[in-house]
Amino acid sequence: MLKILDRYIIKTFFGPFFFIFSVLFFIFIVNIIWVQLGQFIGKGLSSFQILKLLFYLGVSVISMVLPLTILLASIMSFGEFGERYELAAMKAAGISLTRVMVPLLGVTTVLSIMLYFFSNNIIPDFQRKAKNMLFNIAQTKPALNFTPGQFIDQIPGYMVKFDKISGENGENIEGVFIHKKATNYENQRSIVAEKGKFVPAANNNYLKLVLFNGYIYEDNFAGKAENVRQKQPDQAIKFDSLTSHFDVSEIINKAIEEEKITDDYRFQTFNQLNNTIDKTKKDNDKFFTNINNDVLNQTNSIITYMDAKQNKQKAKPKQIIKLDTVKGDKKLDIINNAYSRLDNLKSTLESKNNEIDPGVKYYSKVVIYQQRIVTYSFTCIIFFLIGASLGSIIRKGGMGLPVIIAIVIFIIFYVINVGIENMAWSGKINPYLAAWVPNLVLFPFGIWMTYKALTDSQLFDVEKYKVFFKPLTKLFIKKEEHKRYQ
């Protein structure tokens, strides 16, 4: 059962915790809005649909927000304890800093376990919902991604411009101009209409557009000779109502391919990712074996060709020709031949590397994503050790110095995280190690900071550093005599 002191410490911790978590979650959501803005703005979505999509996308940032929140909250809470001399009072009463840290360490451990289950069971489900929603937007509303007054080439094979778009779902248009993209030897066609309307088509692969009060400007140049083409006049057809169907299956299929909605490792739990990793590793091994066989076959074919050429020469093998003794065009032919062979070898190596890189990168992504389900939970504990120690040392609460220190630590963590991740993607480091490197780097620092806090170290005492560097600064300071003796 919790004692009064434990309840007070936990209460003091959760005060800034909820505030900081809300602020950081809002900041990360704003970042998502900035990145994803072009994918859903201008497609006739309601405010509720946009908020739902942002919520689905924002759930995944909790795995990054929670460790940073724990770091900031622990620095601020222990800083306030020190600033209000509550730590000093606790120590005077015989309560050590370790005893003060125990209840919050227990709370952090519970939060870490909750983060693991949240990342393993809930985030994949919301990732799947977000991807499906993005896919559905691309599939059901491809025609509404237009900007009034601008030429848009979103419809394959056409260039369109609408002066005005209105309606609840952007279905009404005015000032319509549609031009069919064609070569000089194809029929040219342009449509100008006063207004129009998008209506649902029987086939989702087609976009149905009904136009009113307009003209069709068309020529008939396809298959005509040049002299006939010069004489062929344009024709204009006036219409009161015109219904056109545009094939947008390319847009839908492209969305399906990019999203990979049916098979994405981000939709899987920790155990399911084990199967994906095993399958990816087997596929990569098989692919590498095929590449090795191809290279060996090419090498063997060259050696076989050289041996066959030597066997055809029944005479004694020729002496090695020195390039300096060759003159004229023959010398250039030898150099060009050698250069061509080296260039072909270089091209082959580059093509093989380009074939290998995607498999290595995908394997590293899956492994790092799986391991981060666990590593971010340990990051919470490490950040608590660092934050609680720093807070008890600097003895400053509020949003000033603690926030600056926390941001610096988080930036270091993020830079290490991204840098090691890129190295793993390129195959320079094992992805399992890459996922744990940030924790392996910060954990000794957290232990060292905890030791400094337990021993009442004056790590941020400016006067201490002035005394330490005083012998060095004296060498650069000129002694001035008192004016009385000048």
- DSSP sequence for 222-247: TT--HHHHHHPPPEEEEEEEEEEEEE
Asked if residue 315 has pLDDT above 50, the reply is: no
The 10s digit of each residue's pLDDT in 234-254 is 678 888 888 888 877 766 555
Q: What is the mean pLDDT of residues 166-178?
A: 83
The 10s digit of each residue's pLDDT in 61-97 is 888 899 999 999 998 888 888 888 888 888 888 888 8
CA distance 481 to 108: 60
SS3 315: coil
What per-residue confidence (pLDDT) applies to 185? 63
By the 10 Å C-beta count (0-12 exposed, 13-18 middle, 19+ buried), 143 is classed as buried
CA distance 241 to 235: 18
Boundaries of every domain in the chain = 4-140+374-470, 157-247, 275-314+322-367
- The type of residue at 125 is D
Q: How is residue 394 written in tokens?
A: 């600097």
What per-residue confidence (pLDDT) applies to 109? 94
Asked if residue 317 has pLDDT above 60, the reply is: no
What per-residue confidence (pLDDT) applies to 93? 84
Closest CA to 153 of 125, 178, 127: 178
Report the range of poorest mean pLDDT among 372-386, 445-459, 463-477.
463-477
Asked if residue 310 has pLDDT above 50, the reply is: no
Which residues, in sequence order, are bridge partners of residue 176?
162, 193
Higher-pLDDT residue of 470, 107: 107
Closest CA to 207 of 145, 147, 134: 145
Q: What percent of the chain has pLDDT over 70?
A: 67
The 10s digit of each residue's pLDDT in 111-147 is 999 999 999 989 888 888 887 777 766 555 444 467 7
By the 10 Å C-beta count (0-12 exposed, 13-18 middle, 19+ buried), 23 is classed as middle
Let me know: does 352 contact 295? Beta carbons within 8 Å.
Answer: yes
By the 10 Å C-beta count (0-12 exposed, 13-18 middle, 19+ buried), 406 is classed as buried
Confidence of residue 357 (pLDDT cuts 50, 70, 90): low
The 10s digit of each residue's pLDDT in 190-240 is 899 999 988 877 776 778 889 999 988 887 666 566 666 566 656 788 888
Long-range contact set of residues 439-445: C-beta below 8 Å, sequence gap at least 24: 439/375, 439/378, 439/379, 439/382, 441/416, 442/379, 442/382, 442/383, 442/386, 442/409, 442/412, 442/413, 443/382, 445/386
Q: How is residue 187 written in tokens?
A: 């029929």
- The type of residue at 248 is V
Quote the radius of gyration of the chain (alpha carbons, Å).
Answer: 35
What per-residue confidence (pLDDT) applies to 33? 73
Instruction: Please state, as a whole number, how many other Cβ atoms lie within 10 Å of the Cβ of residue 70.
Output: 30
